[in-house]
A and B are shown apart, each in its own frame.
Chain A
């Protein structure tokens, strides 16, 4: 795969890799059968993402997308984080090979899952696309 330097950087030195104990929201998407699983952990304070970590099973693009997406939502409000699109993640990585675009989709979906998990735990209504 011909990946951009940014992708290779985020893949080789992933930011926010790991898990958060007692996290406020967790989102997991993808499945092992397809070869991609992304799990995102959120710590929320005052409606802002105080901390975020990820664990990813997948290719270079999946790992780089997780790393970049978590960087982009750190410190943001939940509403802002919700709006992060897969396109924005791919652009921030200086592009992904067309066949790998679904990897950035996983990041967007994992963030949505994690936010909704947080809302559910707080007894709040979950958000739709």
Chain B
């Protein structure tokens, strides 16, 4: 695919070669099979699932079918799956819903310092509402220690929320162990599994998970649709009030086409985990090996306990936004944890929590692989990155002489 790169003046230039998308942790394209399943629910099958006539029933059945697919992917019951507008809503609902429904029992929540902002900012808001939150540290690989979780538990702890896999560095957490600790202490356990679906096999019962957030567009489903798994019997408040949709727990006319798409996408992604991870691991290995040949480059996150599609590397002496712009000019799309690339002007809280020094935290590059990426793509990235890193190092006042070429 050749692509026109636009700038704010509407001027566009064509990239010389096929563009390479390596930002699959940001979002993914919707799979063709998924689009095909969705289409009829935008046109002929447009009925409101709450209506009793025929086309209403067709929509309702489609949602039921999708719900079954999500339940199968998680090893849960169908009536434990609630569709939402995405990962952010699922995280908000899980955390606020548990907090307020259980505040007579306690006001303490345990989470980690590397959670997604949908969790961290929700917790920060709850602190303003009188709740108390412990933000657990992580080791240099970004792993939360189950021991630390245990130690943080108080008599008034009502919720533990630890993500399954991190969005920036891909680190996979010991969720099963943490879930066991939560269960033994009779504390609700929520996990943000937004990045994990399609990469890590999940069984909510085996992993002792009470609540799990997921988002369709991270596994080749549509944007604007996610789900929250809520184990039967969990005491949780309703988040969106209104109609009787989603067993009266999440009001609002269902986004039928998106729900159908999410169902199909999770079915495909889950069925293909093993095969897809095998391919991704090979590509990841090649990418990491090649990039670490660049001097003063460091892999962020754990070498093996990480998502098969995640590569996150810091290059000393350079800044990430510059790196992304030069990659973009070559038709390569990636991400960074640099402050300069964020609207908050704050560097990545994840890399900072892992102890990456402030001086080099800005030089991180995240490449997240997807099904569309090939070995040729990896090789082109391996050709482009060293050249760009060198160009920026030659420009930087921080670069020592031995790492300059001009």
Give me the interface of A with B, judged by CB distance under 8 Å: 1-5, 8, 11-12, 14, 17-18, 28, 32-39, 55-63, 99
Q: Are A35 and B347 in contact (CB under 8 A)?
A: yes
B9 at interface (Cβ–Cβ under 8 A)? yes
The reply to whether A35 and B362 contact each other, CB–CB distance below 8 Å, is yes
Q: A11-B325, A57-B397, A58-B340 are contacts. A35–B7 as well, Cβ < 8 Å?
A: no
Cross-chain contact B347 with A55 (CB below 8 angstroms): no
CB < 8 Å neighbour of B395 from A1, A2, A14: A14
Q: Enumerate chain A residues within 8 angstroms of B318, measured Cβ to Cβ.
A: 57
Contacts of A35 in B (CB 8 A): 319, 338-340, 347, 362
- Which B residue's beta carbon lies closest to that of A8? B7
Q: Does B317 count as interface, using CB distance less than 8 angstroms?
A: yes
Q: Is B8 close to A, CB under 8 A?
A: yes
User: Which residues of chain B are near A12, meaning CB under 8 Å?
Assistant: 326, 329
For the A-B complex with A4-B7, A59-B319 known, give 15 more contacts whose Cβ atoms are closer than 8 Å.
Answer: A2-B7, A2-B8, A12-B326, A14-B395, A35-B338, A35-B339, A35-B347, A39-B397, A55-B396, A56-B396, A57-B318, A58-B322, A59-B338, A62-B340, A63-B395
Tally B residues with Cβ within 8 Å of A. Answer: 29
Q: Which residues of A contact B360 (CB under 8 A)?
A: 32
Contact status A32-B8, CB under 8 Å = no
Contact between chains at A60 and B321 (CB < 8 Å)? yes
Determine whether B124 belongs to the interface, using a CB cutoff of 8 Å to chain A.
no
Within 8 A of A (CB), among B82-105: none
Where the two chains meet, the residues of B that have a C-beta atom closer than 8 Å to any C-beta of A are 7-9, 11, 317-319, 321-322, 325-326, 329, 338-341, 343, 345, 347, 358-360, 362, 394-398, 406
**Complex: how many Å from CA A28 to CA B341?**
23
Question: Which residue of A has the minimal Cβ distance to B9?
Answer: A5
Query: CB distance A57 to B321 under 8 Å?
Result: no
Closest CB-CB distance, B194 to chain A, in whole Å? 25
Decide: A36 near B395, CB < 8 A? Known: A2-B8, A3-B8.
no
Q: List 13 A-B contacts (CB under 8 A).
A: A1-B341, A3-B8, A5-B7, A8-B325, A36-B319, A37-B397, A37-B398, A56-B397, A58-B319, A60-B322, A61-B340, A62-B340, A63-B395
Contacts of A59 in B (CB 8 A): 319, 321-322, 338, 340-341
A28 touching B8, Cβ below 8 Å: no
Q: How far is the CA of A98 from the CA of B321 in the complex (A)?
A: 16
Which 8 A-B pairs rank lowest in CB-CB distance, beginning with the nearest?
A59-B340, A2-B8, A55-B397, A59-B321, A39-B397, A35-B362, A32-B359, A57-B396
> Chain A nearest CB: distance from B404 CB in Å?
10
**Residues on the A chain within 8 Å of B321, using CB:** 1, 59-60
What B residues does A63 contact at CB under 8 A? Answer: 322, 395
Partner of A4, one of B8, B345, B359: B8
CA distance in complex: A63, B360 (Å): 18
Tell me, in angstroms, the Cα distance from A99 to B406 when the chains sit together. 32
Expressed in whole angstroms, the Cα–Cα distance for A18 and B345 within the complex equals: 27
Closest to A18 in B: B406
Distance between Cα atoms of A11 and B7 in the complex (Å): 14
Name the CB-closest residue of A to B343: A99
CB within 8 Å for A32 and B362 given contacts A2-B8, A99-B343: yes
Measured CB to CB, the closest approach of chain A to B300, in angstroms, equals 16
Is B322 within 8 A of A11, CB to CB?
yes
Q: Are A57 and B398 CB-contacts (below 8 A) given A3-B7, A3-B8, A4-B7? A: yes
